[in-house]
Each structure stands twice: as C-alpha cells, then as structure tokens.
Structure 1
Amino acid sequence: MAQENVPQTDPAVYAQYEAKWANEPDTTEAWLARAREVAEVLGQDAAQRDQENKSPRAEIALLKHSGLLKLLGPKKYGGGEQPWSVGYQAIREVAKADGSIGMLLGYHLLWSTTANVVGTPEQIERTHELIITNNYFVGGAVNPRDSDLKITSDGDHIVFNGTKFFNTGGVVSDLTVLEGVLEGTDSHIFALAPTKQEGVVFAHNWHNIGLRLTESGGVKINNIRVPWADALGWEESTKQPREDVLTGAFPTLLLPTIQLVFSNFYLGIALGALEFASNYTIATTRAWPFGGDNKESATDEFYILERYGNFFAHLRATEALADRAGDRLSAIYSKYQSNRLALKPEERGDVAEWIASVKVVTTDVGLRVTSGVFEVTGARATSLKVGLDRFWRDIRTHTLHDPVAYKNRELGRYVLLQEYPAPSWYT
C-alpha cells in the first residue's frame, strides 16, 4: 500500500481540468486533440517535475480528467471505443511532453484491455464496466525476468504470493494486474485485484536516471485473494483454462501489443526532444563566431540546419512505420476478436515482425536524436534548469527493457529464413 510519507504531487493542481474536460471527445481527431491538450499542460513544468521525482498522483488525476484512460473501452460503458492505432498515437502525443506519463498511459491501456486478449467474453464485459465506469487507472505486477508469482487454489479463490522487481504504475493505481503460475501446473493466470489492500506492499525504490515519474519500483504480493471467476480465460466451475480463449495465436498478441506501446512512447519522447531543442535553438543558441564563415544567427548555421533536417527526416519516417504497424495490429484485433481461433500463427508472426521493426528503428533513431540535439543547442543546453537531458535519460532507461539486439537477430532470421518468431514474453 502507498505510504503516507512518500513525496507525491498534489492532484489539486489540475482540479480545473475536471470541469474543463467534462465532455469527453467523440471522434478520433477529438481524442488526439485531447491528448495534445494533456501534453500542453504537462509540458509547462515537465523538467521541474522530473527533477523533483515525486509519486505522480496529480498526473494520474490529470489523465483521469482528460478521459484518456477510457480511450479504448466500449462506448456503452463510457469509453471512446477507439482502435489501438489511435491509442498508440495518443501515447505518442503525451510522451512528447512527458515520457513518464506517456509510458503510464501506454501501460494502462494495455493492462486495462488485457481481458480482450486472454479473458472470456463475460470477463471482457465485466472488466470494461468496472474500469471505465470508475475511471480506474491500472498498473501491473508482470515482470517476466523475475520468478513468477506463485498461485494456489483455495476454494472459490486463487491466492497470489511473490515479489516483482519492477511494477510500473502500481503505487498510483486503482487496480493491479497480477500474473503467476498455478501450483502443480505450468499454466499462467492473469487477474486484476484492487491495489489498496494490506497484501500489496510497494518498495518505493524507483530512483533511476530516467522515466522518474513512472513508479516502476518493486512490490511484494502477500496472500492476495482473487475469485476464480476473475482468473482471465479460466472456467470458474472446472478451474481449467478455456480452450476457446487461451488456445492458439490470439492470446499471444499481448506481447507485440505492449512492444508497440514501448516504441510509441520512445517515438513521442524523441519527437518531443526535437521540438524542445528547436525552440531552444531559435531562442537561445548562438552562432559560432570562429568558423571562418560566420553567421548572424544559429538558424543560419549550415551544420545546425543539416542536423535538424536529418533528425526530422528520420523521425518522420519512423512515425510512418509506427503508424503502419499500428494499423496492422488494429486490423488483426478487429478481424479476430470474435473468432480468436481463426488467427493463424503466420498472421501473428507477420504483425510481430512489423512491430519488431518499429522497436529497432525507434530505439536507434530515438537514442540518436535525444543525444544529438545537444550538438545543435550548445553547451548551455546541458544545464539542469533547461531540462533537455530528460529526453535522452527517458529513452535510454526503457530501451534496456529487452535487448534490441535480439530483435535485430529475429528480423534477420525472418529475412533470410522466412522464420516467424516463437511467441515469448518479449516477442
């Protein structure tokens, strides 16, 4: 549970937006415009909030006021009913201003729709109604590099126990997605549980160089009981996995879906760095007076114009690739949501390789742009007060989530051997 003495931002600072955004968007463009409005608010003091490194309760309140937490949910419960392709664009827009909050939005959209991928039709409806009508924010204790949480069966309940080193957004969440292995089997179970209970104990140890407002520290799960009815994809009466839900390629879509979440907030952070740096260059950067071809303004410097142009070209191409992959994944969901067993492994593999391509490119371009902007802003731009460093720190931190070298190898096997990747916790 959250500790009272943990420094946290004050939700009251964004109270005005609850009334301002009382009417939720009703079109795709209106939803993206709302995401840009959120980014504008966050961008006003993003560098200061990053340095203060407080638990982001105010920022989560802002997301709730905006309606963006409901973006993908069914309209009948108050959601936006937008496809993932729009969700990815919204993540990107928010991440341009604040990578941490863009990441939290992305993880929430994944965890809040987990039932769509591994839940029964009844669980899908019940989960959406619970999350959307209460405007809940969802975190997740699902870090595959750690030992799995242990699950035991106790009558009508399953009981989770264990520890996770990373738990993004949990401290500020209303619900937490738990995942573990059922005792005596090799079967994994996902379930949502209320966060505010005695058995959820946060370490409050997220003090990393980047994405400082994501609350991605550790958590202990002690005897958290969840009804068998909430074990996603499992039959309550038989306590067995539903073959029509958890068989085949469809339930493995959870992994490429979140991999594309990652790439879109990388891309948003890089786009934000370019915009932030260009504004700084226009306002502050001085031309170099010792080059022999002296210019009046930094915006006349050949090397500065060349670098910005090159960064812009690569980011524009990356954005087009990300959008294409998002469209392809959205089409998979639209086509197979009501007929999951019809999804062929080859179709799943193809979309996974589109997403792997995006991961490679956003990692490479994002790191190059967020470090390279210092070359065109100048020495004074390294001041902590400026805050340009946070863009690189944010991308550098999360691109270590899983080695991009393995994505390159995977794509190489796809090109040379026409081999689709075996679904895994990272593919």
Structure 2
Amino acid sequence: MTTNSNSIVVPQTDPSKYAEYETKWSKLSLPGNEDQWIARAREVAGILAEDATIRDQENKSPHAEISLLKHSGLLKILGPKQYGGGEQPWEVGYKTIREVAKGDGSIGMLLGYHLLWSTTANIVGTPEQADRYQKLIISNNYFIGGAVNPRDSDLKITSEGDHIVFNGFKNFNTGGVVSDLTVLEGVYESTENHIFAFVETRQPGVQFAHNWHNVGLRLTESGSVKIENVRTPWADALGWDIEKKVPDQGVLGIPFTSLLLPTIQLVFSNFYLGIALGALEYASKYTISSTRAWPFGGDNKDKATDEFYILERYGNFFAHLRAAETLVDRAGKEASAIYAEFSKDRTGLTARRRGELAEWVASTKVVTTDTGLRVTAGVFEVTGAKATSLKVGLDRFWRDIRTHTLHDPVAYKNRELGRFQLLDEIPEPSWYT
C-alpha cells in the first residue's frame, strides 16, 4: 500500500513477487538480437498471463509489473549500447510490445508508452539532450510516464530565471504513478510555442488523483494528474535555444520532430494486435479443454473441435490476424527505415516521406482496430456460455482493446486514407496523425 498526497490509501502490487526473475536475468547479458529479444518478451508475457485475470480484477497499481519489465531489460531495448541498452530498431521494439500484450494488455501498453516517451529527446531534443537523456534513462533503467493528453488544455509554462515552471491539469496520463520520470508538455507564456521536458515524478508538484477505474486496461494507471509549480532548468527544454528562449528552428522546424505521433500510433496498433492474438490463443485453449459440442444441430459431433462453425470461425480469425500482423510489421519496417536514415541528419526527411509513413500507420490503426474488436468479441461465439464467467477472464481482452480504441476516432483515419487514395494528399501533422 502507498498513501498519496490526499492521504488516500492506494493498493499496489508487491515488487518482491518477481524477485526471482531479478536474480535470474541479472546473471545474464541483455538479449543480443531480434529473436532473443522476442523470446525475452514472450517469457515476460507467459509470467504475466499466469494471473492476468486476477490482477485485472484486483486493479492494483502495477509496481510489481513495472519491476518485472525492469528486471527483463525490455525497457532498454531501444537504448544505445554504450549506456547499457539493446540498440534495437523500432520494428523490434514494436514486436516486443505485441508479445507482452498477448499476456497482459495493460503491461504491453505501458511498455509501448515507455518506449515512446523514453526516446522523446531523440526526436524533439538537441543532439546533446538526446545523448544526456539516453544516458540517464538507460543507465538507471528508468521507467518513463507522460502527461501529454492533447484533448485537455495545454499546461501553462512560465519562465523564472534559469528555470521554466509548469502548471495545469490533465485528465489522462499513462503510467505516471509508477514512473521514475514524467514527460510534460505545455505552451510557453505569451506564445503558441510548445515545450517538452522530463521531470522527476516523485515531487510534491506532480499530484496524481489515483482515479483510473475503467472498463479495461485497468493496470495502466491512466488517471488524471495536477501539475503545480513543477520547475525544471531551461537547459532541459527539449529542442529550445535557451539563450534566446525560442524554439531552435534547426531542431524543431523540420518534419522529423513530428515523428512522435506516427511512432506512438504504431505503438497502439501493436498492443491492439497483441491483445487480439492473446485472446485467440486463450480462447483456443479454452475450446480444446472446456467447450462442449452442440447436440441439436443435426450434424452432431462428439467434440467441439470437430464442429464446422467453430473451425470456420477460428480459421477466419486466424487469417485476419495473420494479415494484420503482416501489415503491422511492414509499417514497423518503414518506421525503422526512417529513423535509421534520418536520425543523424534530421533535415533530410521530407514532409512527403513523413506523410507516407503516417498513412502506413493509419492503415494499421484501421485494420487492428476493426480486426481486434471483432476477434475479441467473436471468441465468445466459439467458447460458449460458460466462457463468460469472470473466473475464466476471457472478457478482459475485449475490454482492453475496446477501451484504448476510443483514444482517437478511427473514422478519421479512414477519411485520411481516403484523401490519400483519391487526392494523393498526405496528412498535416497533428497530435493524432
């Protein structure tokens, strides 16, 4: 248990639960290639899947689960080797998000958001800031949260000498409660210019409401947060000229810095897909062990696994998920290629190339949303009435994917893709594109 600033007792999971894995993995080197990283993520997913249903129902703050991610090394997968990271491309990071989400959608989502926020300085910061924060985050094995919900009013930023000061409120922040650092973003006073900065999470000015009690993704700590007089040095304002107190146009005035948006949208598609794949696997095991054949169909079978309609549904779900996975992997390769080509020379990325990536990502968002919702709801048709028991826990997959697919309306992704197809228009970068 922990007590927040309002003296509310907040139940949390116990990190000592996974102490054996800290001992086990601390004796090993980090995975060295894609297959090894995916194997590590699959191992983490298996551990989480053992009691995912119970943890979902208990809805405790996921301190233990974050410790498991830290022990596994997955938080470091994208970081530079010189600071102890795995130095893998985004396409491998995406696959590990997907694997973890198969076992527990909440923790797959937290891993995905962390990987995005932990690389924020790489995208919108100066080279010096990017290097400094990679060293800080990777060498300390920090977990990163973010309070950057664009639907709310921007945080207000003022200047006080050598520091900037954040104030405001966000209805949603993901993973902040269990984070070491939190990414804040707001608008600088008397301008329309935005500033991103990392701040220490555990300080009086970062006040979590502990009010995340939603239908799904219950272990993501995505509740509201009040930011009150949180100070950080001007030197930490990512991508700003601290002498002139203006955005550094050599950093922020180019398409590269808008890659945060397609990058995180592709994070979404990967944990949607992971959740759906996890549902299909979970349902398949249930059907084999527990679903009964229907005795009133006129073509009676002894086993549910011989039923035509059950085989047909599973086959159809499998085919669509396999197609979705191929599409998501293709988009991941596109993202990795852009980062590999332009991270050293950001000015080379054109608006057109960035827009084409955004349309690959939009395509994955449409397909993983449609397929994920259909599969996670449809598996009940092939498992039977008894599978609706809370003890079985099959419902968590649909609840998880339904919750996050409301993040931003997929209808706008369809419209965006329609304009690309009919008019050859790439989307303007926005907080959701």
Band the TM-score falls in, shorter-chain normalisation: over 0.9
Equivalent position of 2:76 in the other structure = 70
Runs of 4+ in 1 over 3 A off after TM superposition: none
Equivalent position of 2:201 in the other structure = 195
Equivalent position of 2:326 in the other structure = 320
Equivalent position of 1:12 in the other structure = 16
Equivalent position of 2:263 in the other structure = 257
Equivalent position of 2:380 in the other structure = 374
Equivalent position of 1:298 in the other structure = 304
**Superimposed CA distance per residue, residues 289-335 of structure 1 (whole angstroms, 9 cap, x where no aligned partner):** 11111001000000000000000000000000000000001100110
**Superimposed CA distance per residue, residues 196-236 of structure 1 (whole angstroms, 9 cap, x where no aligned partner):** 00000001000000000000000000000011111000122
Give me the whole-angstrom Cα distance separating, in 1, the residues matched to 2:3 and 2:430.
32
Q: Secondary structure at the match of 1:396?
A: helix
2:87 paired with 1:91? no
Equivalent position of 2:362 in the other structure = 356
Equivalent position of 2:125 in the other structure = 119
2:241 paired with 1:232? no
> Displacement, 1:402?
0.2
Give me the whole-angstrom Cα distance separating, in 2, the residues matched to 1:78 and 1:146.
36
| Counterpart code for 1:89 | K
Contact 1:2 1:171 in 2 (8 A): no
Equivalent position of 1:213 in the other structure = 219
Please give the TM-score of this superposition, normalised by the length of structure 2: 0.98
| Counterpart code for 1:222 | E
> Displacement, 1:237?
2.3
| Counterpart code for 1:32 | I
| Counterpart code for 1:113 | T
Give me the whole-angstrom Cα distance separating, in 2, the residues matched to 1:65 and 1:338.
31
| Counterpart code for 1:207 | H
> Displacement, 1:342?
1.1
Give me the whole-angstrom Cα distance separating, in 2, the residues matched to 1:238 and 1:415.
43
**Superimposed CA distance per residue, residues 387-426 of structure 1 (whole angstroms, 9 cap, x where no aligned partner):** 0000000000000000000000000000000000000000
Bigger Cα displacement from structure 2, 248-257 vs 238-247: 238-247
1:309 to 312, 315, 321: 315
1:184 to 171, 182, 190: 190
Give me the whole-angstrom Cα distance separating, in 1, the residues matched to 2:129 and 2:403.
35
| Counterpart code for 1:168 | T
1:204 to 203, 207, 210: 210
Contact 1:140 1:177 in 2 (8 A): yes
Equivalent position of 2:36 in the other structure = 30
Give me the whole-angstrom Cα distance separating, in 2, the residues matched to 1:364 and 1:201.
36
Give me the whole-angstrom Cα distance separating, in 2, the residues matched to 1:354 and 1:28.
22
Q: Secondary structure at the match of 2:191?
A: coil
Give me the whole-angstrom Cα distance separating, in 2, the residues matched to 1:121 and 1:29.
30
Give me the whole-angstrom Cα distance separating, in 1, the residues matched to 2:404 and 2:427.
22
Give me the whole-angstrom Cα distance separating, in 2, the residues matched to 1:255 and 1:410.
15
**Superimposed CA distance per residue, residues 137-177 of structure 1 (whole angstroms, 9 cap, x where no aligned partner):** 00000000000000001111000000000000000000000
Give me the whole-angstrom Cα distance separating, in 2, the residues matched to 1:56 and 1:97.
15
2:115 to 109, 115, 128: 109
> Displacement, 1:120?
0.3
Contact 1:2 1:202 in 2 (8 A): no
Give me the whole-angstrom Cα distance separating, in 2, the residues matched to 1:2 and 1:220.
16
Contact 1:39 1:95 in 2 (8 A): yes
Q: Secondary structure at the match of 2:418?
A: helix
Contact 1:247 1:341 in 2 (8 A): no
> Displacement, 1:2?
6.1
Q: Secondary structure at the match of 1:334?
A: helix
Equivalent position of 2:60 in the other structure = 54
1:418 to 414, 421, 424: 424
Give me the whole-angstrom Cα distance separating, in 2, the residues matched to 1:15 and 1:316.
36
Give me the whole-angstrom Cα distance separating, in 1, the residues matched to 2:34 and 2:300.
48
Equivalent position of 2:411 in the other structure = 405
Give me the whole-angstrom Cα distance separating, in 1, the residues matched to 2:90 and 2:250.
23
> Displacement, 1:238?
2.3
Equivalent position of 1:266 in the other structure = 272
Contact 1:46 1:98 in 2 (8 A): yes
Change (3 A) 1:161 1:396: same
Q: Secondary structure at the match of 1:189?
A: strand
Give me the whole-angstrom Cα distance separating, in 1, the residues matched to 2:81 and 2:23.
21
Q: Secondary structure at the match of 2:137?
A: helix
Change (3 A) 1:2 1:221: farther
Identical aligned residues as a percent: 75
Q: Secondary structure at the match of 1:15?
A: helix
Bigger Cα displacement from structure 2, 242-251 vs 190-199: 242-251
2:152 paired with 1:137? no
> Displacement, 1:260?
0.2
Q: Secondary structure at the match of 1:409?
A: helix
1:285 to 288, 291, 304: 291
2:186 paired with 1:146? no
> Displacement, 1:246?
0.3
